[in-house]
Structure 1
């Protein structure tokens, strides 16, 4: 496999794994383990590579994804969902529509029992700022998400990383029980303990993208001893193999041919070469020679025999044949059902953030401060003085409300897609749902939550400041602020989805929001014509005009009795922003590389 710059990543890798077996991919960092696993799982960007992937002589297709499970190295889970909720939502979304909801929920319960998660099934997953289950339990939940569909083939990328030896052993024992059920398991592993090593059925040892060994794990040590490489002291077989792959021969006996001189010993650096560089040259030269020796030994002693085995036809069961030849991708649920489940899942996950004490305190404290600064201001002035230039002290409050509920949602929404990108990519790779169903659910499930804090804010400010005491005026003010929030969220979603970089997105949002605020109709009354178009794109501008109209409708007329502020025009502008910004965000997500069709 090569990239556009012709960089060699993997060279002539071959091997096989059968049902009931665990194949481990070992090698030092940068040897190509994860790349090989991603290629086999169909999760590598094929645009910049050459080569093909086939399963049992059939070309790889996206329809096979239902028969393949892939557990990434990072545990990508929603922190505020419990273990049971996480696996239940996975079952509802991924299992075929031929099963009822009760059958899918029962499958989730079975997986919990199979993975030994009964004790923590009602505990939150947890994360950086949320206490939850242990690392081993998180990894088991990730594995549970992938075995939910009963896949024939399961890939795992370093499932024991960051786990202690005992927990890692439990994970591997669990994989053994899954394999015994007739599954094929392929996993990368960096440096397993000796107890873990002896539980693998087959082993692939990689070094800089080349194959040093493929065969039974129990036969690896005898093989390397047969070619003259054996440990000089007792050590973990995995450590010995990694030393070989790294070219570290300090505690390893090597063939006499390598001791006498490497294949590059005839090439000498210039005499003027510094001593340190000279020594580094010989170190690299020896490493290259030793690695080349191991590669050649594998090619002459094992590779030919293994390739003959690979040429033998493998019988396919009828279910796999059907999946290979199936011309149409099948979704587990209809679009509407996907939307409903994703909305419910999103609501449960994000309600904790919406009602965190920090956010509620921020909103309430701002409302109280505003109420105290404008305490009963509107009531203290007789109606006769309510002409345009005498109500400026009140429109300042209305403008701040428009700015606050425009600024606050933008910088909250910016984080939405960049933070959920890993989850979206993982679930879309598994064909769990349509991108359109996810997007609509993600942008509408929060709407009920978006209404609660603004209402609480306006109740405090409205009556403390003594704004227009009419039910109609209050509810129209709430509706105006709500439209502003949804429009501002759309801008944040569009910026976040377009850039997918929080630093760049925050910078762009800061400049945009500041520009909208300045052009919002309060600081600058007469904007020059060549730049006046900016104010019509500003949700602050339209929100401010609507709030002023709601509070002082009787004076929003010119000398001819015609309205200066048209409520319908302002509402239409906000609705257009709500739709336009979200459409831009959706199109940006479609362009995002998820390695799957959208």
Structure 2
């Protein structure tokens, strides 16, 4: 029903632009009121509090395989028959060379494998003996790439996560106290008020960002934590601090699973359990302290005073430096895989009996529905965050200010004090055209540059159900309003008086209004392109390319009456056309241009100039409505795309043997129930 309503709103905006703004605002207000009536069930909040206290879980997976089929029909095996167990209070490390399947296994266990048509994912994952689909536990996933809003501090980032992911019954004081304690535990006290930073502004170090990523996940109080190569790109000191943080979490009762490439010896000593992968195959699983003795039994001895992690990494890697080395190392890896498979059956039986004994002591929570704050509260928090991100980005603000001031001064010097002569008609047209292009390009390029990166962060936060698309998008638009009006306002204020455009105050006000409206429309186009384009580079290439087409059909280079009928629809979607048209009508109407050449007399009215441009029947209000229609359509398109691009993850298919066993168990249970019912009827 909600999707049908949104589609109807979009259709109204497109087909009836004169009612677009009222319909758009009314629908947003209605949605706000509707969402505000939703409240979190107190029973769920209390259930979450009880189930999460001192909760411990063990995660077991068996016969997990993953393969993908290429377009040529060739199938690549990413994971082959993976079976192991992760226990609470123990740090499980997954080691292997690049391409061994570490990230694929982590994503599979965390149920974060991106949905693909030709991907086959099979296996069974149990939590405390229950299928993971029914044993709903709170989990956190620290991905390899750290993504945050660069202008927010550590404390502000964690407080934002606390407001959106902690239970609704928690007060602001409780959330603040939890965040302060978390900052202390993560060793971020000195950096608590430092901004995250980016390429333009220096901020946190790599290790501090990684610990902040861990903290953002700990806000939700997960009992199961996954980390994908948390030490990548860090120096040895920072890497050890990050891994010590994970080790401390294990001591608190968490179940932590971490993939890692090649750790130093001090980090390897922190591992309780170890999994070794090579080319998607498991070569070892068990206590990390017993790994060297296991391979010694197979004839591979670690040299004395040698980093065991480096020894194991070299042992399970395939050397592709030469055909001979590749053949030799691949043969060794195949032998290790075969040796592991021989011992796996015995180890599986032992794990099964151990699991049966522990099933009663470890009980998974039955319901952990994450509560959300209200729709208005989400919008309020997101508006505050968006405004901080925009207003604190001084480098971007300074660059855009300099660009607009410079453009205004250059245009003012070129078109300085234009007179009312016929030769000045061309000057005015040229000035109005470049003014429209400058305003549009500035807003478009800025949005295409920043929004794709922000979209990635929002998508990740949405996968954690931190907030909805509606409040985020509304907050972003409201936060962009002052900035969207500031820079075109600076440009228009400088260029209008210096060039000698129409001297009436009302014409100046209209010029400023059109400039601001065009800036918002170009920004909306950048949002639409940024939401559709797969990457930031693609958005930066696609946005200006589309704008170039709009410039060609803007009315300056090609007269509308001369454009082929099959292409005239493009002009009705061109924000340059509507802006240039409004500028021309605002400037030329009621003006008369005299011929100042010696020996010639005559004049030309502004209406004649407009007729020559095919703008004779146009008006400023009509052009403004056209811009508004394009802007609202872009907003609607962006919102629809963002909502449609919600994270989708691959479902795991049970292996044939497990499915048959499950079906048999269900059938047996049904037979027993039927027999019991039959006996009961007979006795009665």
Query: Are the counterparts in 1 of residues 135 and 366 from structure 2 also a CA contact under 8 Å?
Result: no
1:139 CA displacement = 1.3
Aligned to 2:381: 341
Match for 1:127 among 198, 220, 229? Answer: 198
Matches of 1:339 and 1:126 in 2, distance apart? 24
Residue equivalent to 1:263: none
CA drift of 1:36 comes to 0.8
| Corresponding position of 1:527 | 562
Partner of 1:19: 88
| Aligned-residue offset at 1:395 | 3.1
Question: Is the Cα–Cα contact under 8 Å of residues 519 and 527 in structure 1 kept in the other structure?
Answer: no
Q: 1:212 & 1:529 partners in 2: Cα distance?
A: 68
Aligned equivalents of 2:636, 2:527: Cα separation in 1: 10
Counterpart of 2:239 in structure 1 is 168
Partner Cα separation in structure 2 for residue 174 and residue 25 of structure 1: 17
Matches within 5 A, 1:109-508: 109-246=180-317, 279=324, 282-283=327-328, 286-299=331-344, 302-315=347-360, 320-323=365-368, 330-351=370-391, 352=393, 355-377=396-418, 380-381=419-420, 391-508=425-542
Shift of 1:347: 1.8
Alpha-carbon distance in structure 2 between the residues aligned to 1:551 and 1:354: 35
* Structure 1 stretch displaced more, 148-157 or 421-430: 421-430
Cα separation, 2, equivalents of 1:335 and 1:216:
47
Cα distance change on mapping 1:570 and 1:315 into 2, 3 Å: farther
Kindly indicate whether the alpha-carbon contact (under 8 Å) linking 2:455 and 2:531 is maintained by their aligned counterparts in 1: no
State the alpha-carbon separation in 1 of the partners of residues 414 and 634 from structure 2: 35
Aligned-pair distance for 1:142? 1.1
Which residue is 2:172 aligned to? Answer: 101
Where 1:15 maps in the other structure, the secondary structure is strand
1:53 shift after superposition: 3.8
Distance in 2 of aligned mates of 1:282 and 1:390: 79
Please report the TM-score for the alignment, with normalisation by the length of structure 1: 0.85
Q: 2:633 aligns with which of 557, 567, 580?
A: 580
Any conservation in 2 of the 1:516–1:538 contact (CA below 8 Å)? Answer: yes
Q: Partners of 2:492 and 2:156 in 1: how far apart? A: 35
Mean CA deviation greater in 155-164 or 224-233: 224-233
Give secondary structure in 2 for the equivalent of 1:10.
Answer: strand
1:461, distance to aligned residue in structure 2 (A): 0.8
| C-alpha contact (below 8 Å) 1:15/1:310 kept by paired residues | no
- Once structures 1 and 2 are overlaid, which stretch shifts more, 5-14 or 85-94? 5-14
In the aligned structure 1, how far is the partner of 2:245 from the partner of 2:164?
24
TM-score, normalised with respect to structure 2: 0.75
Per-residue deviation, residues 238-263 of structure 1 (Å, max 9, x unmatched): 12222332268xxxxxxxxxxxxxxx
Provide the residue aligned with 1:29 in structure 2: 98
> 1:566: Cα distance to partner?
2.5
Deviation, 1:363, is: 0.9
Q: Is 1:592–2:626 an aligned residue pair?
A: no
Shift of 1:426: 2.1
For structure 2, list consecutive stretches of 5 or more residues without a partner in the other structure.
Answer: 1-64, 70-74, 592-605, 651-684
- Structure 1 position 577, deviation (Å): 0.6
Q: Where does the alignment leave 5 or more consecutive residues of structure 1 unmatched? A: 249-275
Which residue is 1:537 aligned to?
Answer: 573
Instruction: Please tell me whether residue 42 in structure 1 is matched to residue 111 in structure 2.
Output: yes
For 1:56, the equivalent position in structure 2 comes to 128
Partner of 1:251: none
C-alpha distance after superposition, 1:522-570 (max 9, x if no partner): 22233334132222211111112222233344357689x9973233322
Shift of 1:35: 0.8
Question: Which residue number in structure 2 is paired with residue 3 of structure 1?
Answer: 67
Pairs aligned (count): 555
Q: Which moved more, 1:217-226 or 1:475-484?
A: 217-226
Q: d(CA) in 1 for partners of 2:203 and 2:185? A: 20
| TM-superposition CA deviations, 1:337-376 (whole Å, max 9, x none) | 2222122212211231575432221110100111122222
Answer whether contact 2:140 2:224 (CA < 8 A) is retained.
yes
Distance 1:429 1:53, change over 3 A: farther
Task: For 1:281 and 1:336, locate their aligned partners in 2 and report how far apart those are by CA, in whole Å.
Answer: 60
In 1, Cα distance between equivalents of 2:396 and 2:84: 53
Q: Structure 1 residue 423: deviation in Å?
A: 1.5
Change (3 A) 1:472 1:106: farther
Q: 1:293 to 1:437 in 2, by over 3 A?
A: same
Larger displacement relative to structure 2 (95-104 or 303-312):
303-312
Per-residue deviation at 1:289? 4.1
**In 2, are the aligned partners of 1:354 and 1:449 still within 8 Å (CA)?**
no
Contact (CA 8 Å) 1:477, 1:550: kept in 2 or not? yes
- Measured on the aligned residues, the alpha-carbon RMSD in Å equals 2.9
In the TM superposition, residue 175 of structure 1 has moved relative to its aligned partner by 1.8
Confirm or deny: 8 A CA contact 1:557 1:564 kept in the other structure. Answer: no
Deviations 1:423-474 (A, max 9, x none): 1232122211112332333344212111111111111111212333444332
Q: Over residues 38-58 of structure 1, what are the superposed CA-to-partner deviations in whole Å (9 max), with x where a residue is unaligned?
A: 111111125422325443344
Q: How far 1:336 sits from its partner (Å)?
A: 2.2
- What is the alpha-carbon distance in structure 2 between the residues aligned to residue 4 and residue 119 of structure 1? 46
> Take 2:380 and 2:395, find their aligned partners in 1: how far apart are those partners?
20
CA contact (8 A) 2:159 2:175 kept: yes
Judge conservation of contact 2:452–2:539 (CA < 8 Å) in 1. no
CA apart distance, 1:236: 1.6
CA shift in 2, pair 1:281/1:91, >3 Å: closer
1:354/1:341 Cα in 2 relative to 1: closer, same or farther (>3 Å)?
Answer: farther
Farther-moved stretch of structure 1 (71-80 vs 160-169): 160-169
Distance of aligned partners of 1:558 and 1:519 in 2 relative to their CA distance in 1, 3 Å threshold: same
What SS does structure 1 have at the residue aligned with 2:366?
helix
Is the Cα contact below 8 Å between 1:364 and 1:457 reproduced in 2? yes
Please give the alpha-carbon distance, in whole angstroms, between the structure 1 residues aligned to 2:364 and 2:515: 55
